[in-house]
DNA sequence: ACTCGGCATTAACCTGCGTCAATATGCCAG
DNA sequence: CTGGCATATTGACGCAGGTTAATGCCGAGT
């Protein structure tokens, strides 16, 4: 059984993971509302300076104090919490364009940890800059608010996963959510993407054990729904997978922001 | 076994559920930052007009469209999602002072439902008003942002509950979280509070089954940690309960907002 | 007084998933 | 080339918690 990277198996379009969008937060917020030149310029400025960090580095450590958030410009991260007995729960996966450190850093001491899953590029944003944005670019602040609705909605679906879906359904749901999110980030083909997660980590996302994830992956393969090989996820039967998972992508796409009032409405 | 309301069993201070704080959102945000008169006045204005709704009324129905959020002035609500097979997962419990409709209503069509658990008083806030706030009261917008960090952190703990804690631990953790939140809302005594939830609903919060919640409640009683009778929750051994649950209340209290820059910091 | 419907409680039984352990595989450091 | 480490894979076994159903209590409606 070949173990090669298997680039174009069936003509699948697998975008490179290093697809470098220079200003991912700008692109993200532009999907919610049109943006003036000033606003765009400000957002571009937030992406500097950038820091490159290696794989598996702790970026935010629960229990420490931070005065910045981070834009994740490139790469994947996970936000998680570790319990006293060593069990770990991943709260969400951060993809390029995501703002990290929310809500972890807004407490006396970070309540969650964040680690890089791949090599990443991040751009820190001080709280001072963040509040400057509320003062000088209220529409951007509102867009950020809007964007965070999307993250909360993802947390909500995640809760439904852990609380009420079977292991099989959870895995299917995760695969589909990542397909949609990565496509939006330009990091997935129509039905496939690179997923730099170990099975152990997937288990920690889904509140399951490593061995059981392995069983479920095999199951998906035997049913002809999905194959995962060398971190390449390929969806073979989107319809069946979606109905099995109870997946509806509405929660990933907030409605466009309403027109912004420039005058007082009090 | 008496079934009376049992008001002052052991001199416990059980605040009445109808403790009427006139402007709960104002009080909430004031805990994050000092407020000018203008700001306070604006926030008070958001609490009008108010609507009273009976127990068990659907306030937001998933799949419908809404153009407002709501301040929950009095009473309890639950935000939840129902799966096609009828299973239900409660995403969070709304207490007086909470802003509801976030994130549910920011999508084309509400992604979650919200129902009243008691008689409630709510004050709708149109998106127009909300955006007016971003324009005219940026500090309030920032405070709202700050406050939503707290909600996200609660979702995070909830995820840890469902993913990595046993049924017993989950129940203990929920009881403690509610104790702290209700105390902050002036609705709990030192070690007790009224909790108008059926066991079935607690099960749906914790991703468990009704009968199993019942077993765990009995277990807590037999261990002398907590009694729940006629919706009155009494914590008898706070220390043991906390350590059992792995409860740390840090995630419920965001740090005070940093000083707000009145000048450009770009 | 009688019934009905909601809720708490409990028991009997079953299963999905965790735990533990063994084996395999590729990768990196020396 | 070699040993060590991380990860994937699989099996055996047990248990936490789900499911179903029966019982009982209470409050509301008639």
Domain ranges within chain A, ordered by starting residue? 24-252
**Strand ranges of the sheet holding A113-116, from the earlier edge strand across to the other edge:** A58-60, A113-116, A77-82, A88-94
d(CA B17, CA A151): 32
**3-class SS letters over chain B:** CCCCCCCCCCCCCCCCCCCCCCCHHHHHHHCCCCCCHHHHHHHHHHCCCCEEECCCCEEECCCCCCCEEEEEEECCEEEEEECCCCCEEEEEEECCCCEECCCHHHECCCCCEEEECCCEEEEEEEHHHHHHHHHHCHHHHHHHHHHHHHHHHHHHHHHHHHHHCCHHHHHHHHHHHHHHHHHHCCCECCCEEECCCCHHHHHHHHCCCHHHHHHHHHHHHHCCCEEEECCEEEECCHHHHHHHHCCCHHHHCECCCCCCCCCCCC
Decide if A106 and B254 are in contact by the 8 Å CB cutoff.
yes
* CB pair distance less than 8 Å for B102 and A45: no
Which of A153-168 are b and which e, b meaning 16 or more Cβ less than 10 Å from the residue's Cβ?
bbbbbbbbbbbbbebb
- Among B111, B206, B261, the residue with its CB nearest the CB of A131 is B261
Tell if A214 CB is < 7 Å from nucleic strand C: no
Q: Say if residues A78 and A192 touch (Cβ distance below 8 Å).
A: no
Asked if the model's pLDDT at residue B1 lies above 80, the reply is no
Per-residue model confidence as pLDDT tens digits over A42-90: 999 999 899 999 999 999 999 999 999 999 999 999 999 999 999 999 9
Contact A152 B108 (CB under 8 A): no
Average pLDDT over residues A146-152: 93
Nucleic chain D contacts, Cβ below 7 Å = A 198-200, 210-211, 214-215, 217-218; B 3, 166-168, 207-212
Whose CA is nearest the C1' atom of nucleotide C7? B198
Selecting from B91, B104, B253 the residue whose C-beta is nearest the C-beta of A159 gives B91
- Chain D bases closer than 7 A to any CB of the protein: 6-12, 16-21, 25-27
Cβ separation A108–B152 shorter than 8 A: no
Tens digit of pLDDT for each residue in B19-31?
568 899 999 999 9
Whether pLDDT at B70 is above 90: yes
> How many residue pairs from chains A and B have C-beta atoms closer than 8 A?
198
> In the complex, which nucleotide's C1' lies nearest to the CA atom of residue A209?
C18
Please say if the pLDDT value at position A4 is more than 60. no
Fold of B24-252: Jelly Rolls (2.60.120)
Percentage of chain B beyond pLDDT 90 is 85
- pLDDT by residue (tens digit) across B156-176? 999 999 999 999 999 999 999
The whole-chain average pLDDT of chain A stands at 90
Residues in chain B with CB shorter than 8 Å from the CB of A83 are 160, 164-165, 246
What's the Cα-to-Cα distance from A4 to each of A1, B145, B213, rounded to whole Å?
Answer: 9, 47, 50
Residue A19 C-beta-side C-alpha neighbours within 13 Å: 19
Q: Tell me, what's the pLDDT at A262?
A: 59
B151 with A149: Cβ contact below 8 A: no
Closest by Cβ to B131, choosing from A165, A207, A261: A261
Q: Which residue is nearest to nucleotide D25 (CA to C1')?
A: B3
- The pLDDT of residue B234 is above 60: yes
The model's pTM is 0.91
Which of A1-15, A25-39, A200-214, B88-102 is predicted with the least confidence, judged by mean pLDDT? A1-15
Chain C: nucleotides below 7 Å from protein CB are: 6-12, 16-21, 25-27
pLDDT at A254: 84
pLDDT at B263: 55
Please check whether residue B96 is in contact with residue B152, taking contact to mean a CB–CB distance below 8 angstroms. Answer: no
Could you report the per-residue pLDDT of B33-57, keeping only the tens digit for each? 999 999 999 999 999 899 999 999 9
Chain A closest-CA separation from residue B38 CA (Å): 11
CA of B210 to C1' of D26 (A): 19
Closest CA to B81 of A243, A92, A208, A165: A165
The C-alpha of A119 sits at a distance from chain B's nearest C-alpha, in angstroms, of 25
Q: What percent of chain A has pLDDT over 90?
A: 85
CA of B130 to C1' of C23 (A): 60
**Cα B103 to the chain's mean position, in Å?**
15
Q: Comparing C-alpha atoms, which of A127, A121, A249 is closest to residue A180?
A: A249
Contact flag, residue A166 CB and nucleic strand C, below 7 A: yes
Which has the minimum average pLDDT: A94-98, A245-249, B30-34, B201-205?
A: B30-34
Percent of chain A clearing pLDDT 70 (strictly above): 90
Q: How far is the CA of B259 from the C1' of C21 (A)?
A: 56
> From the CA of B6, how many Å to the C1' of C1?
28
| Closest CB from A107, A142, A162 relative to B207 | A162
Are the Cβ atoms of A134 and B141 closer than 8 angstroms?
yes
């Amino acid at each position: 059984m070949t173990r090669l990277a298997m680039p174009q198996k069936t003509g699948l379009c697998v975008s490179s993971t290093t697809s470098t969008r220079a200003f991912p937060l700008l692109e993200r917020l532009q999907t919610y509302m049109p943006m003036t030149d000033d606003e765009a310029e400000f957002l571009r400025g937030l992406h500097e300076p950038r820091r490159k960090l290696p794989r598996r580095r702790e970026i935010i450590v629960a229990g420490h104090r931070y005065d910045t958030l981070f834009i994740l410009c490139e790469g994947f991260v996970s936000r998680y919490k570790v319990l006293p007995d060593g069990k770990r729960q991943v709260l969400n996966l951060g993809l390029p364009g995501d703002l990290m450190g929310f809500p972890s850093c807004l407490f006396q001491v970070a309540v969650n940890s964040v680690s890089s899953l791949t090599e990443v590029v991040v751009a820190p944003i001080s709280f001072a800059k963040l509040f400057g944005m509320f003062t000088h670019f209220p529409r951007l602040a509102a867009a950020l608010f809007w964007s965070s609705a999307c993250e909360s909605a993802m947390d909500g679906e995640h809760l439904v996963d852990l609380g009420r879906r079977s292991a099989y359904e959870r895995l299917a749901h995760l695969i589909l959510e990542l397909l949609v999110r990565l496509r939006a980030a330009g990091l997935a083909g129509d039905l496939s993407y690179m997923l730099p997660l170990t099975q152990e980590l997937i288990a920690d996302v889904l509140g399951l054990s490593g061995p059981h994830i392995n069983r479920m992956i095999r199951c998906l393969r035997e049913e002809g729904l999905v194959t995962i090989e060398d971190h390449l996820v390929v969806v073979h039967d989107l319809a069946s997978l979606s109905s099995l998972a109870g997946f509806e992508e509405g929660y990933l796409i907030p409605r466009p922001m309403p027109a912004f009032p420039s005058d007082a409405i009090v």
